[in-house]
Amino acid sequence: MIRLLASILFVLLIGLPSVASPADHVIRVTTPMPPPTWAVLERELLRANAAACREYFEKYFDERGFMLCVERWGGDDGPDDAIECLLDWPILHALGASDDILQLYKKAWEGHLRQFTLARTTDVPFARDGMYYKEFPVMFDWLHNGEGLVVFNLQGLSDPQDARFQQRVRRYAGFYMNEDPDAPNYDAQHKIIRSLFNGSRGPLLRKATGLDWAGDPIEIGNRFRLGHGERSYEEMVAHFKDYNDIIGDHPQNLSATTLALNAYMLSHEAKYKQWLLEYVDAWRDRMRQNGGIIPTNVGLDGQIGSAVGGKWYGGVYGWGFSVVVPQTGKLAHRNTSYLGVTGFGNAYLLTGDDKYLDPWRKMIDLVNAQGKMIDGKMMYPHMHGDQGWYDFTPQKYDQGAFDLWYWSMSDADRQRVPETGWLSYLAGKNPRFPEDSLRQDFATIRNKVIAIRADTTTPDTRLADDPLHLNPATVQNLNHLLFGGIQPGRRGTVLHCRVRYFDPDKRRAGLPDDVGALVESLTADTTVLSLVNVSQVEPRTIIVQAGGYGEHQFSSLSLNDGPVTPLDGSTLTIRLEPGCGTRLKLGTKRYANQPTLAMPWNLQLASPNN
């Protein structure tokens, strides 16, 4: 009977056009499914997250959306930390948490922009007229710029129609496309971003100082606890005393491509895609010129290492950037070239072309090929300086390996990735992972709330990064299990996921009320997904989208292991009758469409990848 019903329903789907309104063809699911434990845990975890986030916001933000803290510029604590305190809130809402989460993080973003435009430095020269200018950091590195965009760069998941968001998306991208004379960050001739420090007031084209990084003098004493363990302002400056060589391009700057990506997904104006690919292609070429390793300095003349004495590994946050920690005297290795993988992933999202993954996988293999036996153990390098490769550890160099596997779904790329509970589950080896991981998340939220309530800091004894570790939004496992996605983390990137959900009745992103979803398996061309309506009295309608931004395409569908029917669309609309559920096996053509921020009911035709 089930197979017969499925066959009848499949007839409705034959010939479904790729841009049809999701409401045109609805799959009706009438198979009873007792609420699985994982689905009940998901629904309650969304509620618990939202309740904890409301309490967090009430304590650390005011009615304007300003963070209640001492406003400072700097790499230790600065504007980026204030908004980074809402890390993962956009994903939480996009998963299906209540709409007030969207309203709260938007309120905080508006307040943040106003607060740090008004906040000024006294001694740091480039922020004396405001730490933000034109609603963007005046100039800083993309380790920090990216952290300051963890909310904004994901707002398009839930609210791409917001007029201020749309204006900012274009303005921010324009800072890196020479569209603003105040921000000459990009050299189109040499295809470089001209400094590690860049932003709405352009690049800093001199050596940076400890003051530029540490910010204005501040009383420490018994007033603040600094995140890096410094005991005085003098130690804060000393922390950054060697952070000088910032002139020229660095792989960190590839994170700026996320601005162009969002602008393209919003507007589909070709200029944004063209700039993004031009810039990433330039870095691909530099890797080829440098023997397969991404260089960490490209001088103003476009030559590798020319701003740091010809050393491809030189510069702040370079392959050879090891500095002494002032309060301990120990050496710290701070190579952030791995942030460059963001740009390659953005290019892959737009093209599905393996040429944007192959250089990175080859680099990982080249670095690990330098491994050697030390004291009877195989050790692998993570740094390179005047003396050659160094910082050998038992762990292989694997920066970006997880991203590469997720994007490619290649067995060869999977071999570079350490085992995790989620990957083991996807391979069918850890069936308890959904329930166990979700239960652990409840404990995480509970402990965060206890710590929030125990926090005795006051606004005048609190730095912007103090509440970071108390942010209760706990979404990684929900993202893995509901979306089949990977965490953007603190890099300010977009969301890479296999499926996403929308509520067509409420016209919002996220699971409809009472619906649970579980991605059970991911392969290069198949997505296996279970959906269930835990309400026993109300039907629920859900739109399933292929990819976070419609970049994938559904090619076939089988319900409950029934007959396979061809599909050709990026969305499916499913009506789950009360207490009913189903298991969908979806043939999936990955990266078949140009990504878009448009909601399914506003979906416009976008040219497929060629």
Residue range 157-184, pLDDT digits in tens: 999 999 999 999 999 999 999 999 999 9
Whether residue 250 is predicted with pLDDT greater than 80 in this model: the reply is yes
Q: Which range among 36-45, 126-135, 220-229 shows the weakest confidence by mean pLDDT?
A: 220-229
Which residues, 6+ apart, have CB-to-CB distance to 573 below 8 Å?
22, 23, 25, 26, 27, 504, 541, 542, 543, 544
pLDDT at 224: 82
Q: Strands, DSSP E only, in 452-570?
A: 499-503, 508-509, 515-522, 526-533, 540-546, 553-559, 565-569
Which has more confidence, 610 or 29? Answer: 29
Mean pLDDT rounded to a whole number for the chain? 94
List pLDDT tens digits, range 434-465: 999 999 999 999 999 999 999 999 999 999 99
Q: CA geometry: angle at 26 spanning 20 and 29, to 5°?
A: 155
Q: What residue spans define the domains of the chain?
A: 2-30+498-601
Do residues 354 and 267 lie in contact, with contact meaning Cβ atoms separated by under 8 Å? Answer: no
Whether residue 9 is predicted with pLDDT greater than 60 in this model: the reply is no
Q: Which residues pair with 566 in a beta bridge?
A: 556
List pLDDT tens digits, range 47-76: 999 999 999 999 999 999 999 999 999 998
Give the dihedral of Cα atoms 484, 489, 494, 497; nearest 10 deg.
Answer: 0
pLDDT at 610: 35
Q: Tell me the pTM.
A: 0.94
* Selection from 608, 474, 430 nearest residue 101 by Cα: 474
List pLDDT tens digits, range 553-609: 999 999 999 999 999 999 999 999 999 999 999 999 999 999 999 999 997 444 334
pLDDT at 22: 40
Give the containing element (helix H, strand E) for 584: strand 581-589
Q: What is the CATH number of domain 2-30+498-601?
A: 2.60.40.1180
List pLDDT tens digits, range 265-312: 999 999 999 999 999 999 999 999 999 999 999 999 999 999 999 999
List pLDDT tens digits, range 417-432: 999 999 999 999 999 9
pLDDT at 229: 76
| Residue 478 C-beta-side C-alpha neighbours within 13 Å | 30
Q: Which range among 173-177, 325-329, 341-345, 482-486 shows the weakest confidence by mean pLDDT?
A: 325-329
pLDDT at 424: 97
pLDDT at 231: 86
* Arithmetic mean of pLDDT, 534-548: 98
Burial 251-275 (b: 16+ CB within 10 A, else e): bbbbbbbbbbbbbbbbbbeeebbeb
pLDDT at 17: 29
Q: What is the CA radius of gyration of the chain?
A: 24
Whether residue 21 is predicted with pLDDT greater than 50 in this model: the reply is no
pLDDT at 606: 40
